[in-house]
A and B are shown apart, each in its own frame.
Chain A
């Protein structure tokens, strides 16, 4: 019931939005729809939190053995909540932006929410693939139509990249499907697929490349900074806050438990790639002058850490990934909102041209500093909980012998992230004002509201993460039990 609503509400309201030609009206309509989605998702977490409400199943392609099976476990609930929270926040934060052909813009936004929800809810591989692509198409249109100067070429690169990944995954899905005992696309049947070690090995890479492009993990990350830079900020928030989680989610739901042996065998290789990516991205982030690119590279570093923790499997690490997926989404959306505010008023994102904003906009400065500190994973912020679990997990891993090395190298990136984040705060908010930044005004009510909500979430999770940890415990246990069964001792 709940999962179906989460897909249907944004889908129908998105299709309807194509026909609401007035900008104000369609804006309100989109906000209304996303709030409804949020309410539904919150109801699913609280009042209606029963197994019967959280799963739905219907006939779809019977001849092929694919069914419309949707459901939420702990991880699904967390990510659906993230999607449901992110969209209204994004819409409120960018309320003052005006778009040409606004009805198309908001319709595509809602459709991309549909795709994201579907990805997080699908329990059937073909359905998962459908939604995986459906999330991409609206993003393609959003970026190419409302993006920056170089948008068409950049978005095209992004699209082709992810499309090749998806097709590789499709081959993997088909192969697994043909090797299931009952010729079915259901996740349960995928668990039972009989494969030799060699087959597991190459299917692992087919899946992993698709997910790695989405996350993105080094060396598949080259589309990401350009796309983040060129997209309109609202879309960048969707891409970086929610859409990249599709990659991590895919790995946790469709790769690790389905191909445990290959995960175990290739784990160190992937973790090594992640570590290289983390350090590399952090070093580049330190050199950036453009705020958007800085955040883009910082995001690569953070995603790398989560990817590493999944593949250096351990209970704490898994738990850390679950909560950090949510935290990363919240924090990065906060960062983008600040960038958007600065860019809209100053017409520049170059740190070298900014300075002294704290004097002009104290409210903005306070909120930014909290969000930025969360990005550095300072204690009391949400990211501290997540990253602490991640590092403990990596360090203590019984699966990988390289755990401490990975943890140490990853630890360096925490220091680096402090370097570039604090450097950014210093350059943008402190120092002397120049002629440009002297005109800066403080933030308006709606922006204050959104950032305020984000800061509250950051602090609450930072102090009291227990509900989240309990929520995802079930998923972690299931996945690890699948790993241990196949774990060659």
Chain B
């Protein structure tokens, strides 16, 4: 509850901060303060201190799972702002507004990670999405940005409609929006419930860009200003997954066996399409868009397996994926040429940037010693433990092998190809932050329990 209230308030604060100061550094400072405050109050809630006593009538439910995810999301946003906050100034003139939108999105993230009622799910997802449509279109004079925003908005509203339809059908069948009420007595799938379930699956699949509902992703990620793509591909996608898992685990967990195959097929399709299309990309930014689809495929393993291992795995995956993606995008933003050739010879000119980018890419590829490996390990272990979807595990590892191809293309360009790397200005602080991020990736990869233990006990 703490996070929801504070993030909403701070969003308003950010909106007005533009009136009091024209200095972007001050505004960034205010935003960072707000984010730090968010982390603190959320951690306080994990420790059992709630600042606001609000009777939510069972519509929200805060457990260690949702609170830990909130911490990860806020922490990622904090790191993201530290690393790439400066680059927002280059997008347009309304930096305070961007931050206001980001805080509203975080409010949506906090709601959709802890909903216990379909209405709250809807609210959370919408609060997340609407500011995002705007952020996508912030590069006003760029046609691609405009196209991306419009496309995202149209497709997004369409999927919202589908979600509402699903919610309505479930309400009609059960007479309640409450997840427990929906779960009650749904051992058998009635036509209405299964129609509702499928519609929700489609809508959520759209939000997390699962195939075959992924078509918007590359265009939107490519068209949006790179700073915001980074945010979109990490925090928001992760939040979508947490909501997805919560919904299907709490409301439909009982009939898991009946929808498992559908989700497994969606997962396999997402993995295959994401990975194979990524191979053919010429631009690193577009490659990362497809790679985010591919990574979504791995996160979907949690839904297919739906056991304790994969629940932990999903939390860990969001953290590992967010940190690595924020890092690689932060490097990408500094580049002027987004093609693979643009990275040629980077290691010679910017050894720190290249080394950290290599660690982020290794993590995304799932090499042991990085967080990405432990994340994939949990997902595979969850699926093997489930026992019914070994074929999906094989598809998963083959796709992981394909992903090596495109992630390592960047490493090859940076390290092994000769080329005149582009001039770029990077400050010492930026490098230090990248090193910090890389250190987080490695530490999480060797000691994943320092994050996961927080699921069970705090302090």
Contact = CB atoms under 8 A, between A and B. Distances in A.
A340 B360 CA distance: 36
Nearest to A164: B401
A137 interface: yes
A171 B408 contact: no
User: Which of B362, B397, B449 counts the most A-chain CB atoms under 10 A from its CB?
Assistant: B397
B377 to A, nearest CB: 7
Contact of A133 (B367, B398, B417): B367
Given A130-B368, A133-B367, A137-B367, A167 B397 contact: yes
B307 to A, nearest CB: 11
B279 interface: no
B434 interface: no
Contact of B380 (A130, A141, A170): A170
A62 B449 contact: yes
A138 B125 CA distance: 44
Contacts of B394: 171
B369 A133 contact: yes
A168 B377 CA distance: 12
Given A170-B377, A171-B380, A178-B384, A163 B401 contact: yes
Interface string A139-171: 001001100000110001001100110011011
B384 A168 contact: no
Contacts of A151: 416
Interface residues of B, number: 28
User: Which of B367, B368, B400, B415 counts the most A-chain CB atoms under 10 A from its CB?
Assistant: B368
Contact of A144 (B367, B400, B415, B449): B415
B404 interface: yes
Given A130-B368, A133-B367, A152 B416 contact: yes
B448 interface: yes
B362 A156 contact: no
A168 B397 contact: yes
Nearest to A165: B401
A369 interface: no
A35 B401 CA distance: 37
A132 B369 CA distance: 11
Contacts of A160: 401, 404-405
A266 to B, nearest CB: 20
A171 to B, nearest CB: 6
B393 A171 contact: yes
Contacts of B377: 170, 174
A171 B405 CA distance: 21
B397 A152 contact: no
B159 to A, nearest CB: 34
A61 B452 CA distance: 11
B198 interface: no
A361 interface: no
A63 B385 CA distance: 16
Interface string A60-90: 0111000000000000000000000000000
Interface string B362-373: 100001110001
A171 B381 CA distance: 8
Contacts of B449: 61-63
Given A130-B369, A156-B408, A163-B404, A171 B397 contact: yes
A380 B249 CA distance: 69
B453 A63 contact: yes
B369 A156 contact: no
A191 interface: no
A137 to B, nearest CB: 6
A61 B448 contact: yes
A134 B384 contact: no
Contacts of B408: 156, 159
Contacts of A178: 381, 384-385
Interface in A262-311: none
B422 interface: no
Grouping DSSP codes into helix (H, G, I), strand (E, B) and loop, the A interface class, with mixed when no group exceeds half, is helix
A129 interface: yes
A210 to B, nearest CB: 11
Contacts of B417: 152
Nearest to B400: A167
Contacts of A170: 377, 380, 397
A19 B400 CA distance: 33
A99 interface: no
Contacts of A130: 368-369
B415 A174 contact: no
B384 A171 contact: yes
Interface string B397-413: 11011001100100010
A62 to B, nearest CB: 7
A61 B400 CA distance: 24
A177 B377 CA distance: 12
B150 to A, nearest CB: 40
A255 B412 CA distance: 34
A175 B384 contact: yes
B366 to A, nearest CB: 9
Interface string A157-200: 00110011001101100110110000000000000000000000
A167 B453 contact: no
A137 B417 CA distance: 18
Nearest to A62: B449
A178 B412 CA distance: 37
Contacts of B367: 133, 137
A174 B416 contact: no
Given A144-B415, A174-B384, A63 B404 contact: no
A156 B448 CA distance: 29
A33 B367 CA distance: 26
Nearest to A151: B416
Contacts of B362: 137
A175 B377 CA distance: 12
A189 to B, nearest CB: 15
Contacts of A156: 405, 408, 412
A167 B401 contact: yes
A133 B404 contact: no
B380 A152 contact: no
Nearest to B378: A64
A133 B362 CA distance: 12
B313 to A, nearest CB: 11
A174 B453 contact: no
Contacts of B401: 160, 163-164, 167
Contacts of A174: 377, 380-381, 384
Contacts of A62: 449
B356 to A, nearest CB: 13
A164 B398 contact: yes
A459 to B, nearest CB: 40
Contacts of A133: 367-369, 373
Interface of A: 61-63, 129-130, 132-134, 137, 141, 144-145, 151-152, 156, 159-160, 163-164, 167-168, 170-171, 174-175, 177-178
For the complex of A and B, list the 6 residue pairs with the smallest distance between their C-beta atoms, beginning with the closest.
Answer: A167-B397, A133-B368, A130-B368, A164-B401, A174-B384, A174-B381
22 contacts: A61-B449, A62-B449, A63-B452, A132-B368, A133-B367, A133-B373, A134-B368, A137-B362, A141-B415, A145-B416, A152-B412, A152-B416, A156-B405, A160-B401, A160-B405, A164-B397, A164-B398, A167-B400, A168-B397, A170-B377, A170-B380, A178-B381
Given A137-B367, A160-B404, A171-B394, 11 more contacts: A61-B447, A61-B448, A63-B452, A134-B368, A141-B415, A159-B408, A160-B401, A164-B397, A168-B397, A174-B384, A178-B381
